[in-house]
Amino acid sequence: MEKRILGTSGLEVSALGLGCMGLSYGYGPATDTATGLALIRGAFDRGVTFFDTAEAYAQGANEALVGEAVAGFRDEVVIATKFGFLDGEVMKGLDSRPETIRAVTEAALKRLRTDRIDLLYQHRVDPNVPMEDVAGAVKDLIAAGKVKHFGMSEAGTASIRAAHAVQPVAALQSEYSLFWREPEKEILPLLEELGIGFVPFSPLGKGFLTGKIDATTTFGEGDFRAVVPRFEAENRRANMALVDRIGELATKHGVTNAQIALAWLLAQKPWIVPIPGTTKLHRLDENIGGATVALSADDLHAMDTALLQVTLVGERYPTAIRDRQGR
């Protein structure tokens, strides 16, 4: 797989990374360990060198899975993890105090079976802790050799600027896809200005863009989409117009919806690296195929024109989660 560099940081990764969250958290029961290990190792065998995890994904269980999976080729991959939730639990709210950042990092190093974290993100901006203190704590960890690069997730422009002034931010991770284009307004121009890479999570719209979800789909126990307004049945029905437009371009190229959605992201900027997640090897192969789909300027223009006719409905997160994440 081709490589990309995240902004001006010098951090080189595969053009597509692997979001590992869903192996342990968020989409129902955790995948069994053997399957999770095989998926992560299979991704590496297919050229993926960028693996994303977090303390908050099953309170470190996902980090432990990633650490075990990549132990045999640790020096050939980039591991990204995150701090920022109280006790590693999203519903408890935010905690980015410097002492917490240090403690979470030490615990993550043990779970990941490594002596350094390649990319350490603040999972969400904590309004109760000055950004200068957060960036300063990570700067100290970088000076100590325990962290290589600093990242932020779902941060706004003011927070990014404040952090970057203390410790250069290598990458911002936020939701971005044909299903959620909000970053195009202010975030992408700022990242380009500051030389910060962009790592879109949910690049397939939490599965919606694949065309495998419709208004009749039911979500199992533990699948957070069951409480997301955008995934209410009526909203899914309304938003299928977007999937139809993607499907038309996919048919033209003889590829899948997922591959078009990923190719579209990769075509936006050379410093964008999506991190689709999956629990299935055949879906992994499909996603990786998206990195080989070349969309022309005409394709991109046609997609933009078509999307102007589509009005998407439904909030990204339920109110309870928005409140706890300071949104």
Tens-place pLDDT, residues 245-255 = 999 999 999 99
| Overall domain count for the chain | 1
CA distance 110 to 68: 11
Domain-located, residue 89? yes
For residues 93-114, average pLDDT: 98
Alpha helices in 23-113, H assignment, sequence order: 33-45, 61-70, 98-111
> What's the rounded Cα separation, in Å, for the pair 304 and 296?
12
pLDDT of residue 316: 87
- Domain assignment present for residue 285? The answer is yes
Specify whether the CB–CB gap between 123 and 100 falls below 8 A. Answer: no
When pLDDT is cut at 50, 70 and 90, the band that residue 12 belongs to is: very high
In a domain, 222, yes or no: no
The b-or-e profile of 131-157 (16+ CB within 10 A means b, else e) is: beebbbbbbebbeeebbbbbbbbbbee
User: Is residue 322 in a domain?
Assistant: no
Residue 299 lies in a domain: no
pTM of the model: 0.95
pLDDT at 327 over 80: no
Structural domain span for residue 52: 3-206+269-293
The CATH number covering residue 191 comes to 3.20.20.100
Q: Is residue 282 part of a domain?
A: yes
CA–CA distance, 143 with 161 (Å, rounded to integer)? 21
Short-list 325, 316, 292, 16, CA closest to 156: 325
Catalytic residue ranges: 57
What pLDDT was estimated at residue 317?
82
pLDDT tens sequence across 16-58 = 999 999 999 999 899 999 999 999 999 999 999 999 999 999 9
315 phi and psi angles, rounded to 5 deg: -70, 155
In this structure, what are the phi and psi dihedrals at residue 153, rounded to the nearest 5 degrees? -135, 130
232 within some domain: no
Domain assignment present for 167: yes
